[in-house]
């Protein structure tokens, strides 16, 4: 590892942290937007100051200079900072540093956590204080930088000491949901369940999507190659490594629960749902859809937002009598004595994950529940996985299951003691290879230069929709190219089963050109598909032709070419979304005749207000002074501005609610 000398800020190499005889200090911080001094820039400083009487520390940048000065004043000769102590031009060195990062912070004599947005006189106990709302608590990499160091000092923006990790453990627990006992090393990190450790990262952000996984490796004691460019596959690789090294099965006890009240469905709801599931499937047809909730592995840390209360409670051997082992279960409400026959096991295969599980199968074979030795301490209930058979099995001997999307976590108690047996089954754990690129393939009518609409960003909308709702794209009713806008194109979306509804809820995005004026038009139509007749109409587009209303659907008449479509109040109880904002910008390839579609799904009604009048006046002024050749660029910039305005208004709303709650 490379370390900075605190007296001169010169880089020196050490084979390992253990080889630094005098120990070293380490810096934790949030990177500045204006940039940081790199490894190469720091190495070049001695030549720049040669003969001037200055030291490299004078030119090392304010953050590195102040950190070196503070560490030197505390008697430390060496300092490590991630900005300039890693040669990021070397992929091997970068990978080694990332895999060793937790160890670097754990072995440091002291860690300085510099909080640039916290003043020295901050009220640290105030829930609205800059300390409790600072960016440092929301970044992915700073999670391990909080957990790993034995001695961590928080510093204000003026480099004044705010307190140590032990001093502020109670405040930190409220902000991060990490128990104060873990922060004070009274509870071992390795004794915390996998799901709970993952939940600490659920609301944190990283600049690179791969870092969502890489920043967690040290917390689980995992090492693996870093491959920037692999995207979300990095988090799947992390889960595979955890599964192979831990017996704790709470790795699979996840669900994106940011919009739900409970980390699992109530016993009454599960009982009612399971009793009618077979009838619902028979009534509406046996549709089988894979989305991110139907796989055993989570897509990202945010899926673990509500998993912090799930614990792994396997049976424990108490004593051995001859060849017979007597076991006890640490689960207060272990529902089945069959649990004592073993524990779940998992292994990777080309057919899926081969699992040995304790399973209760519904008599018709429509679903099954897997008992995973999980227990929710807050709800005082056992927790299991709700499985449905997957028709894409490749092994004729063992069944293949995927997870039921909208009711992933259920209570085994809800089906009583019934017939439970240990079985070997396959579980679908990830999307098929290459499915990500298939999902964003171009729509045929999107390919010509001259087309009324282009859908470059549609895959972004589909991704956000899958994260924030119970809706998936069912089909696209697309006319054959070349397409002039008539007949219209239609995107049909179907809703998955929701615990509060026994039917599907469906909506359609319709786009076309008016046959009277040639104007581009768009509409979002919500349909109540509670009857089979309605579903037949939706699934057979030839039975009807989408129409539009000229006075409301012409895009050129919309302010900023954007409009809000709000879900009818009668259907909101069946959905996790409130509506959509459609926005259009001229296509750079053909700005006079082609519009690019942008769709923003919203799960918060505060985002569904219309464009304010003062913004519209500014829009008209800018349009008036812009030349026609710059109009598409102006509109795009204005769209960015208005979306930022929407986000700002929501933040202001949340801030106002927080202040009201505090008072």
If the chain, 663 residues long, is cut into consecutive pieces of 10 residues, what is the mean pLDDT of each piece?
96 95 95 86 92 89 95 96 95 95 97 96 93 94 97 96 96 95 95 95 93 97 94 94 95 66 48 53 49 84 88 66 40 46 87 92 82 84 86 88 80 69 92 58 72 80 60 76 87 56 62 93 73 37 64 91 78 58 88 87 51 49 48 49 52 46 41
Helix (H) or strand (E) holding 270: helix 267-284
Q: Could you tell me the residue ranges of all domains in the chain?
A: 2-190, 267-316+335-427, 440-659
Contact between 214 and 235 under an 8 Å Cβ cutoff? The reply is no
- Prediction pTM value: 0.72
pLDDT at position 450, please?
86
**To the nearest 10°, the Cα dihedral for 431, 432, 437, 443?**
-90
Integer Cα distance of 128 and 144 in angstroms: 24
**In degrees, to the nearest 5, what angle opens at C-alpha 324 toward C-alphas 319 and 329?**
50
Going by C-alpha positions, the residue among 169, 214, 204 that lies closest to residue 187 is: 169
pLDDT at position 526, please?
78
Residue 131 structure tokens: 């300390």
Helix (H) or strand (E) holding 310: strand 310-312
**In degrees, to the nearest 5, what angle opens at C-alpha 56 toward C-alphas 90 and 58?**
125
pLDDT at position 294, please?
82
Q: E strands within 390-448?
A: 400-403, 409-410, 421-427
DSSP-derived pairing of the beta strands 409-410 and 400-403: unpaired
């Amino acid at each position: 590892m490379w370390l900075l000398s605190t007296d001169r800020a010169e880089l020196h190499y050490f084979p390992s942290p253990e080889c630094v005889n005098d120990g070293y200090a380490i810096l934790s911080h949030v990177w500045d937007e204006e940039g940081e001094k790199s490894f190469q820039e720091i190495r070049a400083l001695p030549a720049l100051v040669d003969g001037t009487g200055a030291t490299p520390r004078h030119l090392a940048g304010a953050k590195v200079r102040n950190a070196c000065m503070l560490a030197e004043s505390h008697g430390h000769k060496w300092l490590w900072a991630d900005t300039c102590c890693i040669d990021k031009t070397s992929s091997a060195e970068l990978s080694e540093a990332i895999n060793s990062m937790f160890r670097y912070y754990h072995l440091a004599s002291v860690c300085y956590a510099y909080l640039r947005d916290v003043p020295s006189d901050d009220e640290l106990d105030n829930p609205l204080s800059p300390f409790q709302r600072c960016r440092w608590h929301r970044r992915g990499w700073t999670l391990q930088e909080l957990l790993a160091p034995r001695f961590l000092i928080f510093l204000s923006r003026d480099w004044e000491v705010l307190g140590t990790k032990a001093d502020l453990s109670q405040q930190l627990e409220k902000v991060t949901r990490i128990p104060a006992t873990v922060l004070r090393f009274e509870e071992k990190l390795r004794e915390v369940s996998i799901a709970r450790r993952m939940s600490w990262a659920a609301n944190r952000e990283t600049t690179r999507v791969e870092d969502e996984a890489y920043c967690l490796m040290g917390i689980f004691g995992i090492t693996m190659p870093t491959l920037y460019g692999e995207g979300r596959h990095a988090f799947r690789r992390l889960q595979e490594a955890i599964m192979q090294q831990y017996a704790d099965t709470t790795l699979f006890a996840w669900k994106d629960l940011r919009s739900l009240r409970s980390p699992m469905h109530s016993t009454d709801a599960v009982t009612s749902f399971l009793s009618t599931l077979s009838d619902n499937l028979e009534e509406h047809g046996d549709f089988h859809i894979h989305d991110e909730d139907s796989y055993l592995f989570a897509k990202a840390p945010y899926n673990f937002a509500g998993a912090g209360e799930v614990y792994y409670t396997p049976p424990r051997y108490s004593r051995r009598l001859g060849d017979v082992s007597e076991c006890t279960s640490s689960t207060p409400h272990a529902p089945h004595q069959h649990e004592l026959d073993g524990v779940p096991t998992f292994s990777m295969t080309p057919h899926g994950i081969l699992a040995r599980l304790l399973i209760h199968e519904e008599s018709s074979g429509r679903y099954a529940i897997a008992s995973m030795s999980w227990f929710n301490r807050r709800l005082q209930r056992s927790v299991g996985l709700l499985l449905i058979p997957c028709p894409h099995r490749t092994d004729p001997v063992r069944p293949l299951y995927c997870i039921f999307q909208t009711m992933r976590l259920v209570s085994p108690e809800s089906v009583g003691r019934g017939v439970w047996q240990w079985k070997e089954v396959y579980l679908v754990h990830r999307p098929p290879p290459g499915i990500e690129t298939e999902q964003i393939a171009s729509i045929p009518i999107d390919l010509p230069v001259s087309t009324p609409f282009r859908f470059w960003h549609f895959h972004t909308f589909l991704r956000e929709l899958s994260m924030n709702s119970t809706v998936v794209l069912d089909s696209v009713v697309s006319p054959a190219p070349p397409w002039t806008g008539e007949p219209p194109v239609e995107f049909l979306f179907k809703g998955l089963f929701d615990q509060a509804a026994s039917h599907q809820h469906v909506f359609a995005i319709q786009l076309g050109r008016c046959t009277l004026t040639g104007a581009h038009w768009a509409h979002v139509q919500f349909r109540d598909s509670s009857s089979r007749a309605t579903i037949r109409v939706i699934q057979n587009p030839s039975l009807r032709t989408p129409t539009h209303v000229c006075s409301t659907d012409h895009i050129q008449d919309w302010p900023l070419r954007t409009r809000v479509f709000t879900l009818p109040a009668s259907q909101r109880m069946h959905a996790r979304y409130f509506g959509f904002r459609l926005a259009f910008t001229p296509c750079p390839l053909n700005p006079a005749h082609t519009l690019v579609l942008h769709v923003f799904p919203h799960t918060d009604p505060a985002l569904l207000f219309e464009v304010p009048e003062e913004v519209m006046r500014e829009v008209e002024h800018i349009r008036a002074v812009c030349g026609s050749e710059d109009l598409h660029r102006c509109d795009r910039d204005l769209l960015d501005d208005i979306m930022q305005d929407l986000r700002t208004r929501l933040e202001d709303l949340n801030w106002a609610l927080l202040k009201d709650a505090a008072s």
